[in-house]
């Protein structure tokens, strides 16, 4: 779908459909671009090296604005637009929308949480304290939880990224290696980033020969998934098939963390080694720790889980071993909120 085709959708739906149907068409088009559109390679180079982006933000912004024109009182659409600005690191524009929403509806908890999180990472301390106090009046338990989350996000730079495989884990079958996927190209072939992660994973597998391996990633290209492609490669390198578990349902790092952590808890794992790129590691490590809390809180197995999380990264950008790309704070905030039940695009996309 091109920008011209998106414009034609708008013209058609504006004249022939009921309001709710017109909004739905525009939302559907925006979600299409979230997953399939745009200058992905350019964005990856400029913002998040080593992280797969799936958005064409400019067209999403345009579509959400058109939907708001049709249904201006729809708070979810307003928050969708704010999220689109946030994903472009236009935090001031996102915060303005959240504040406008709260003028009309001071009890919109989601808007207040998103606003407070942005105020925290933007160092707007007085506004942050004021909004946190309002959250506490509405729901003191959740307010305390999110306050801790926001504080932790601001300290993702404290993580020392490991470039050598940890040697402090048991090799008794209770340790797992979790490798995060990277988007396949349009022909279903792996890209260099994935191959580098796989080579590091293979080293870990040889160091811990009794460990199981979880390959992650379920976005299909030409009938192949990231998880399946990585499993096939590892088998060709001599790793036994029964050591490898495919987690082929996830479509992003949030789902990588939630689905893998659930598998680890169900398997009674004692530890895991997270394998990804250095430019992705701080966010991924943080999200896996958040997912651990969520999964442990909803545990239905017979034992009390306590999976130790270790990490090792392929060094795709040496400078990021000692400093955080500023945009990573916002991305980590977005994803950690998603893990804790606050959707990226309310009603559309977790």
Specify whether the CB–CB gap between 75 and 98 falls below 8 A: no
Q: Which CATH number fits domain 175-314: 3.90.45.10, 3.40.50.620, 3.30.300.30, 3.40.50.20?
A: 3.40.50.620
Helix spans in 105-225 (H): 109-121, 125-138, 140-153, 192-207
Backbone torsion region of residue 89, taken as left when φ is above 0, otherwise alpha when ψ lies between -120 and 50, otherwise beta: left
Per-residue pLDDT tens for 304-347?
Answer: 778 999 999 999 999 999 999 999 999 999 999 999 999 988 87
Backbone torsion region of residue 277, taken as left when φ is above 0, otherwise alpha when ψ lies between -120 and 50, otherwise beta: beta
Per-residue pLDDT tens for 13-26?
Answer: 656 677 888 888 88
Domain with CATH 3.40.50.620 in the chain: 175-314
Nearest to 131 by CA among 112, 103, 108: 112
CATH fold, domain 3-157, is 1.25.40
Burial class for 217, CB neighbours closer than 10 Å (0-12, 13-18, 19+) = buried
Instruction: Look at the chain and count its residues.
Output: 350
Rounded (5°) CA angle 280-285-287: 100
Tokens describing residue 201: 């994973």
Domain with CATH 1.25.40.10 in the chain: 3-157
Specify whether the CB–CB gap between 243 and 205 falls below 8 A: yes
* pTM of this structure: 0.87
Q: Is 28 a residue whose pLDDT tops 60?
A: yes
């Amino acid at each position: 779908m091109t920008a011209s085709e998106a414009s034609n959708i708008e013209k058609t739906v504006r004249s022939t459909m009921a309001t709710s149907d017109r909004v739905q068409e525009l939302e559907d088009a925006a979600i299409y671009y979230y997953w399939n559109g745009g200058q992905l390679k350019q964005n990856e180079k400029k913002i998040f090296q080593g992280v797969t982006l799936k958005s064409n933000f400019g067209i999403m912004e345009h579509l959400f604005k058109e939907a708001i024109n049709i249904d201006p009182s729809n708070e979810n659409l307003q928050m969708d637009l704010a999220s689109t600005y946030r994903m472009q690191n236009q935090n001031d524009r996102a915060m303005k929308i959240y504040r406008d929403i709260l003028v009309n509806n001071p009890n919109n908890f989601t808007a207040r949480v998103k606003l407070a999180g942005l105020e925290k990472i933007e160092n707007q301390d007085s506004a942050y304290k004021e909004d946190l106090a309002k959250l506490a009046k509405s729901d003191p338990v959740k307010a305390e939880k999110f306050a801790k989350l926001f504080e932790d996000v601001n300290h993702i730079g404290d993580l020392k990224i490991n470039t050598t495989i940890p040697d402090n884990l048991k090799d008794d079958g209770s340790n797992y290696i979790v490798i995060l996927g990277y988007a396949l190209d349009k022909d279903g072939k792996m890209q260099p980033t994935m191959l580098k992660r796989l080579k590091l994973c293979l080293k870990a597998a040889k160091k811990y020969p009794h460990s199981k391996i979880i390959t992650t990633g379920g976005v299909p290209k030409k009938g192949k998934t990231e998880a399946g492609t990585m499993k096939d490669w590892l088998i060709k390198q001599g790793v036994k098939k029964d050591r490898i578990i495919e987690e082929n349902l996830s479509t992003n790092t949030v789902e990588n963390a939630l689905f893998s952590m659930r598998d680890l808890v169900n398997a009674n794992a004692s530890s895991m080694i997270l394998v990804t790129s250095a430019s992705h590691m701080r966010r991924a490590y943080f999200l896996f720790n958040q997912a651990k809390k969520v999964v442990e809180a909803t545990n239905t197995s017979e034992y009390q889980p306590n999976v130790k999380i270790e990490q090792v990264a392929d060094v795709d950008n040496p400078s990021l071993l000692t400093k955080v790309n500023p945009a990573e704070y916002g991305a980590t905030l977005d994803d950690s909120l998603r893990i804790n039940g606050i959707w990226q695009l309310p009603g559309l996309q977790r």
